[in-house]
């Protein structure tokens, strides 16, 4: 089974994987759920996507089941992937008709703040306005503009980066590290509102058309609250003590933000070891796994964890 990542297609997250017959299956990551798996060494191509319109796309599996070469794709699938073109569309890059139809639908511009205070600007298509931020794993976020299409919103995004210095990407490792010791919620909310206010002020003074400035806060999923609040779990937190590039793993899910989980780790007897662990399940993307009654091996020098 090939993992395609953590998805938020509903108010709750799921681990999505493709079975040998090509069918996709989702395993819910609900509070209290157990996740036991073994990772087969290697990183594999996830195939490519053909976009036919705003709500219509097709996933095409990798023909050769090849190892990943560029991100989570082989070279051939990367070259065939429609979605790789969307970020240059506003610069005049020619795109297929289906992708053009997707990009010409209304989009939102948002400002997202993460557990360590890092803040970014980003975009979301209208149908995925909420889901996009849930998958990003934001702690606090604000919508700052509504654009008539994807070209306008990406022009605004680049402008905000150039004029205000807000980045367009935060590394997953940084998000996970921040959730081990998240900053206070009231502080992060203030950081987000301050950046969002600066962006609205900038956009409000432009002579450009095709968008409107908005004031709206994103509603964080309830399952993320415990992970985003350092005081909510009642147990000392630690980084997950293994990597998802091989071996067995066993977790009991407590909370999920984006692709990052707060989990307890059961031992061989099924008893949870001391503490809670912050694990980036996004690292499973592109990995082949086998489900089973596996456990995470705690390092012999576990005193360093506690």
pLDDT tens-digit readout, 109-151: 999 999 999 999 999 999 999 999 999 999 999 999 999 999 9
Q: Cα 106 vs. chain centroid, distance in angstroms? A: 22
In-domain check, residue 154: yes
Nearest to 119, CA basis, from 7, 30, 194, 200 = 194
In-domain check, residue 97: no
Is this prediction's pTM over 0.75?
Answer: yes
Q: Are strands 14-18 and 247-257 parallel, antiparallel or unpaired?
A: unpaired
CA geometry: angle at 28 spanning 73 and 285, to 5°? 15
CA geometry: angle at 108 spanning 229 and 223, to 5°? 25
pLDDT of residue 112: 98
Which tens digit of pLDDT belongs to each residue from 44-96? 999 998 988 787 888 999 998 999 998 899 999 999 988 787 766 666 566 77
Give one word for 32, left, alpha or beta, with left for phi > 0 and alpha for psi -120 to 50: left
In-domain check, residue 80: no
In-domain check, residue 293: no
Nearest to 213, CA basis, from 227, 199, 226 = 199
Give the residue-averaged pLDDT of 216-237. Answer: 90
Q: 6: burial class by Cβ within 10 Å (0-12, 13-18, 19+)?
A: buried
CA distance 60 to 285: 16
Q: Per DSSP, what are the bridge partners of residue 290?
A: 38
In-domain check, residue 300: no
Total count of domains within the chain: 1
Task: Determine the structural domain holding residue 168 and report its residue range.
Answer: 105-220
Q: How confident is the model at residue 269 (pLDDT cuts 50, 70, 90)?
A: confident
Share of the chain above pLDDT 70, in %: 95
Q: 49: burial class by Cβ within 10 Å (0-12, 13-18, 19+)?
A: middle
In-domain check, residue 135: yes
In-domain check, residue 180: yes
Contact of 40 with 28, CB cutoff 8 Å: no
């Amino acid at each position: 089974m090939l993992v395609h990542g953590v998805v938020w297609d509903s108010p709750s997250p799921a681990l999505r994987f493709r079975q040998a017959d090509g069918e996709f299956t989702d395993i819910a990551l609900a509070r209290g759920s157990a996740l036991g798996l073994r990772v087969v060494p290697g990183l594999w191509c996830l195939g490519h996507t053909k976009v036919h319109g705003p709500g219509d796309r097709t996933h095409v599996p990798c023909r050769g089941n090849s190892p990943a070469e560029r991100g989570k794709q082989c070279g051939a699938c990367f070259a065939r992937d429609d979605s790789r073109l969307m970020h240059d569309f506003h610069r005049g890059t020619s795109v297929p008709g289906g992708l053009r139809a997707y990009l010409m639908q209304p989009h939102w511009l948002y400002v997202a703040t993460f557990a360590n205070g890092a803040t970014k600007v980003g975009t979301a298509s209208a149908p995925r306005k909420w889901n996009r931020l849930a998958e990003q794993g934001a702690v606090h976020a604000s919508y700052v503009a509504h654009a008539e299409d994807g070209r306008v919103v990406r022009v605004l995004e680049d402008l905000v980066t150039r004029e205000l210095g807000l980045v367009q990407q935060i590394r997953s490792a940084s998000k996970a590290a921040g959730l081990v010791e998240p900053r206070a919620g009231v502080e992060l909310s203030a950081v987000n509102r301050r950046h969002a206010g600066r962006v609205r002020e900038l956009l409000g003074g432009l002579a450009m058309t095709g968008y409107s400035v908005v004031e709206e806060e994103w509603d964080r999923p309830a399952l993320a609250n415990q992970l985003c609040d350092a005081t909510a779990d009642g147990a000392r937190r630690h980084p997950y003590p293994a990597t998802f590039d091989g071996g067995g793993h066993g977790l009991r899910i407590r909370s999920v933000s984006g692709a990052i989980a707060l989990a307890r780790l059961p031992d061989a007897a099924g008893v949870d070891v001391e503490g809670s662990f912050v694990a980036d399940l996004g690292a499973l993307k592109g990995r082949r796994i086998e489900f089973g009654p596996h456990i995470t091996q705690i390092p012999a020098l576990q005193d360093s964890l506690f």
